[in-house]
Structure 1
């Protein structure tokens, strides 16, 4: 959510910031509703002041035995007018809020210009795509040949975009999640948190999924929502709170199922596990002071990078351009992993600094030490990382000519010492 004071102070600058995302100007319409709200409120205050004066005049007239009918009639008219003005102010406020809440976060000045993912900028790369002496297979070819990945069974049970894993691949998926959570809690300073998988409207609104992106979500018959990522409940832990500055930063991590409708993705990645309705992810969330969020963004991204490095994967860091940056983010780094079977880079983690955008939506603040009043927190979130995509990357990166797969060393403690799947 945007601060209306920023729009008032620099309408042209606000529209220029929206233009970076390819959006039309909005300041004039927002400020028109703002002016209507303020005018109605000012008129209501004037009417209230006149009613207060009338009350005194009526009392004085009654004490003198004078006729008060005209004064009482004026008072009744003012009461009706005040009610109408309150409705006008509320309608203008609702319209103004609807406009503001539909607009994405303003971008960090460091975000590069661009229209879509083709304009994203590669910042650095770890490793080089391997030159294999055999034709690499895609993950679903490997998994199906091993008899451990079954899309037919999943389709029978639930439909498209689900997967059944068996045996060593089911254990590999579990091992990946356990390894990630252990790393983030034991070495990266995150607090492991178990969160609800079903949340209410206010929680989805706080992180920006509602009202704009309801089509991307699954909703239950009682009006709750299945979480698309643990970012939603983790970030909302501070909703409505006023934290002490000494408590910051807060760092949370959760290993949870995630549910996404994949609306608008018909025909994309229909084979395999890349784009699923249900998947598991290790999520990282940080809550910081405004002056610390840029450094925290770097730290969080490095935590995700370590996961990929220790899994023996080839990866690169990409900063998303203006046209590709997500709704709530002011700046985003994507980590992309090289998939030999596809012969392509694919996103495996996304780490975003949201500034105070989400905090304003959920009214999450802190009290600066030695200062007066409160200030909005900054929130950050990142994948640390998506377990299903990590499974895909491990299968394709560590596949062997005979169809087997080498198990990365860091996963072997959770695999009962297994060094190879085959």
Structure 2
């Protein structure tokens, strides 16, 4: 959500920020609705004040024997009483229209975010690692995986497209990756492990920005709850409607959860393989902090995600997303893209975003700085540390052998019970 005062004070800058997102100017409409709402609120308050004054004056007039004045005041009070509900209703309607308009707008990108309408405008910042030089033609994970326990057929039989059934050592490798990531983020990078609800109410998905515009990307239960698309929803909303103690900031949280996405806009994309699923697991990172801490926390979160890729010795590149390719709630986002030799391409495996106070305003999450009289909105950040399924894909493709087996990365072997190689199921 945006600060209405900033829009009033600098509407041109607001529209310019939206234009970088590909959104048409709306500041004049916002300001007009805000003026209407404030005018109605003023009229309602003035009417209420007058009603109170007139009510008090009735007793004084009666005490003085001025019946005519008392009757006139009674008539005025009755008229004000009748008109006030209509004014209050108009004010609420104007406020609702203003809120609906603001709720549908994306966050404004920082000045350092490059211009661009889609992923072609993203900027490569750096690369880490050297892609392996294979002595044979590397295959895609969808070709390697089935013999090792990546069962696409059973997943489709049970649930349809974009579901997969993992068996044997493949399932264990998936679990090992998740535990390794979680232990890394809690043991090395200072994130507190959390176990969070997978079903949330409207307020939660509104707070992190999935509602109202992106409901088609979510799954909803028959009782009106939403399956989380990422643990960001549950973790970030842990501070909703709260004044957070300054001593607890920055608050770094992590959770390993299943995630559920309808992939409504992904028709025809990654239909083969394990990259784009309706159900997948992810280690999510969320930070709640003071405004002056958010840039440093963004760098810390990004480094925490990169540390997992580096420990697994998976080559990747870091991309600064352009304004048109960022998620709606972000003001700046870096993507980490891992090298997949089977595809001969870099593919996203983590997205790390600084949302500023955008989500905090939607959640009414604040803190009171030491010796300050007023509260301020916190800043929120989120990122993947990492997407488990996509990391599994990267391990399969980067550690594949010519005979179809896959070497287990050395750093994972303690979580694999010493197993060094995935081989075809017997």
TM-score strictly above 0.5: yes
1:46 CA drift (Å): 2.2
Q: Does 1:396 align with 2:397?
A: yes
1:290 CA drift (Å): 0.4
Structure 2 SS opposite 1:237:
helix
Alignment-derived partner of residue 269 in structure 1: 270
Distance, in Å, in 1 between the alignment partners of 2:41 and 2:242 is 29
Alignment-derived partner of residue 225 in structure 1: 226
Conserved? CA contact 2:198–2:228, under 8 Å? yes
Alignment-derived partner of residue 203 in structure 1: 204
Distance, in Å, in 2 between the alignment partners of 1:167 and 1:246 is 46
1:65 CA drift (Å): 5.0
Alignment-derived partner of residue 28 in structure 2: 28
Alignment-derived partner of residue 355 in structure 1: 356
Superposed CA deviations along residues 313-359 of structure 1, whole A, max 9, x for unmatched, are 11010010010011111100000011011111100000000101111
Distance, in Å, in 2 between the alignment partners of 1:257 and 1:286 is 20
Matches within 5 A, 1:154-169: 154-169=155-170
Alignment-derived partner of residue 89 in structure 1: 91
Structure 1 SS opposite 2:412:
helix
Matches within 5 A, 1:115-154: 115-146=117-148, 148-154=149-155
Superposed CA deviations along residues 100-138 of structure 1, whole A, max 9, x for unmatched, are 111111111111111100110000001233331211111
Superposed CA deviations along residues 5-52 of structure 1, whole A, max 9, x for unmatched, are 111111111111111101001111111111111111111222223223
1:226 CA drift (Å): 0.5
Distance, in Å, in 2 between the alignment partners of 1:119 and 1:416 is 44
Q: Does 1:292 align with 2:293?
A: yes
Distance, in Å, in 1 between the alignment partners of 2:44 and 2:4 is 21
Alignment-derived partner of residue 82 in structure 2: 80
Distance, in Å, in 1 between the alignment partners of 2:49 and 2:419 is 81
Structure 1 SS opposite 2:2:
coil
Moved over 6 A (4+): none
Question: Unpaired runs of 5+ in structure 2?
Answer: none
Superposed CA deviations along residues 345-376 of structure 1, whole A, max 9, x for unmatched, are 10000000010111111111111112222111
TM-score for the superposition, normalised by structure 2: 0.97
Matches within 5 A, 1:14-413: 14-63=14-63, 64=65, 66-67=67-68, 68-146=70-148, 148-413=149-414
Structure 1 SS opposite 2:382:
strand
Conserved? CA contact 2:319–2:334, under 8 Å? yes
Aligned CA RMSD, in angstroms, stands at 1.1
Superposed CA deviations along residues 386-408 of structure 1, whole A, max 9, x for unmatched, are 00000000000011111111100
Distance, in Å, in 1 between the alignment partners of 2:310 and 2:54 is 77
Conserved? CA contact 2:129–2:313, under 8 Å? no
Conserved? CA contact 2:357–2:379, under 8 Å? yes
Distance, in Å, in 2 between the alignment partners of 1:343 and 1:43 is 66
Distance, in Å, in 2 between the alignment partners of 1:238 and 1:95 is 26
Distance, in Å, in 2 between the alignment partners of 1:81 and 1:33 is 21
Structure 2 SS opposite 1:368:
coil
Task: Between 68-77 and 252-261, report the one with greater CA deviation.
Answer: 68-77
Aligned residues: 421
Distance, in Å, in 2 between the alignment partners of 1:47 and 1:240 is 31
Conserved? CA contact 2:335–2:349, under 8 Å? yes
Question: Unpaired runs of 5+ in structure 1?
Answer: none
Distance, in Å, in 2 between the alignment partners of 1:374 and 1:71 is 43
Distance, in Å, in 2 between the alignment partners of 1:286 and 1:41 is 37
